[in-house]
Structure 1
């Protein structure tokens, strides 16, 4: 397995925008929940929104989409806090993460646990808006969330575990909006998992050098010089699975045509990816917010046709 030298990239905590204007103690909590980096909750939100749209309930259940968005902000924040508590020793040894609130001393571990509780309460409010079947599906994800920070220590593919976690909203949204489960929901979920593995492999390119030094594993390290081809393969699986999901809802070639914009965008990511350029990798990763929107529009068109 070959390693590569990656150019310096953007620090994980940047103290910018509205977050930079907060008083120092509050700023630490905002940074801990990554409120300065909204891409994370967009990526967590999109699969659930896709499910509601593909189930044909985007208009009738606009409130559900709103609750899923709030839940994504809160639970992504809670997940980041938990991850930083578990990874505080590793984070202090990685250039990109050394400035995070816990390793930098901006927030104590005890205060971080309290902040985790507050964010979890917001998530509980969202959970109470769901019918029991969907709520049970949502609660079932907690075991996956709890184990995720340890995956980079025991497997070369922690991105696959993240895919299971970050795609779970597709199952929650479908069960709530469609009042059941089926092949369309399963295919939507599988496609989302593959998408997450692809974009998080791109994200992991930023840390390859540090990961080698401290012994942390990732799909970017596992793929080595084949990383562009690997990302392309996962994106191809994502589009194929999404095609199955859309076909199950509307067996019409025009339904598959709705995927062309998101497929083209993912192709652009792969074609312009420079694996040894950390800034390029971060930009391609962040562009998945657009990919998520394009997929939502595809589900909206097919689901409401």
Structure 2
């Protein structure tokens, strides 16, 4: 009997994803273990790091360092893969009870737990090799992030807000990217990080809408289940805070006025997501979730544009 395509089991992987179309059959379970068939997760982990590096550069009137940007991209891809493998190892029994995740390589038995650990170690070593080319503070931040990563899979068992913990984890790159560019931290990087936390809380609530029925049966907690019908209003509130923290960051960093029109586009993009959220439309919620790669790119572009004419709005910053 032919194997059911993974994209049919996992609706968050596009049916035409490159893994199912082009990758050799033997590599597909490994690529899917690292979620390389769903690159939006790489973007969402990478973009806070790009934003942090761009913020540091714009505060000095410079363009972002392209070498650093490449390191952040590769590091995000590797560490996201390692994190997904870790999550799948710990959640293999829960994953088997949820339709969207039942076909994941570990839950379905196509990759053993021992093999998944080997994959995790290999990806982590690759990420570490990149991390140790950065300044000492960035290295320390990278190591500290492992605490957040290690605890994340347990959050869905003990709190209704695992999406908030994911926000703390996924946006750590904002601090790391800033520290990698400057060798230090400051209030601007912290404000950028806090804005990212609320951004992730919003978009991962959208993501959790897909699994509400199965999560209830499996006893998995999520912000979508906790909020229920009020989720669209709550997501709008999370996004409003994300936007306000982004503005506060720009003010503190004395970014120039070109930040504002692009930041307005970021705010509009987020508000439209909240307005379009239908709790009875899981596929629509998934499409809204995916659109956050564009939202993060818009904010990144706004920060880069802010290098021109610093301090011309807001009267001097902090």
Is the Cα contact below 8 Å between 2:256 and 2:308 reproduced in 1? no
| 1:14 Cα deviation after fit | 6.4
* Aligned residue pairs, count: 298
Shift of 1:16: 4.6
Bigger relative CO (Cα 8 Å, ≥ 6 apart): 1
Q: What RMSD in Å do the two structures reach over aligned CA positions?
A: 1.8
Superposed CA deviations along residues 8-41 of structure 1, whole A, max 9, x for unmatched, are 9953566753312333331110000000000001
- Normalising by structure 2, we get a TM-score of 0.89
- C-alpha distance 174-216 of structure 1, shift in aligned 2 (>3 A): same
Q: Aligned partners of 1:12 and 1:266: how far apart in 2?
A: 20
Bigger mean CA offset, 245-254 vs 123-132: 245-254
The CA distance in 2 between the partners of 1:119 and 1:220, in whole Å, is: 31
Give the alignment's TM-score, normalised by structure 1. Answer: 0.93
Which residue of 268, 281, 290 maps to 2:285?
281
Contact 1:203/1:285 (<8 A) preserved: yes
Structure 2 CA distance for partners of 1:253 and 1:22, relative to 1, 3 Å: closer
Q: 2:125 aligns with which of 118, 121, 124?
A: 121
SS in 2 for 1:303: coil
1:42 and 2:49 are equivalent in the alignment: no
C-alpha distance after superposition, 1:248-303 (max 9, x if no partner): 11266654444101001111111112121011000000000000110000110113
Q: Deviation of residue 229 (structure 1)? A: 0.3
The equivalent of 1:151 in structure 2 is: 155
Paired residues of 2:91 and 2:153 also in contact (CA < 8 A) = yes
Using the TM superposition, give the Cα deviation of residue 175 of structure 1 relative to its aligned residue in structure 2, in angstroms: 1.1
| SS of structure 2 residue aligned to 1:298 | helix
Unaligned runs of 5+ in 2: 1-7, 310-318
Distance in 2 (CA, whole Å) between partners of 1:144 and 1:173 is: 17
Shift of 1:59: 3.0
Contact 1:183 1:248 in 2 (8 A): yes
Q: Does 1:242 align with 2:224?
A: no
Separation (CA, whole Å) in 1 of partners of 2:29 and 2:291: 26
- Give me the whole-angstrom Cα distance separating, in 2, the residues matched to 1:254 and 1:66: 25
- The answer to whether the 8 Å contact 1:15/1:36 transfers is no
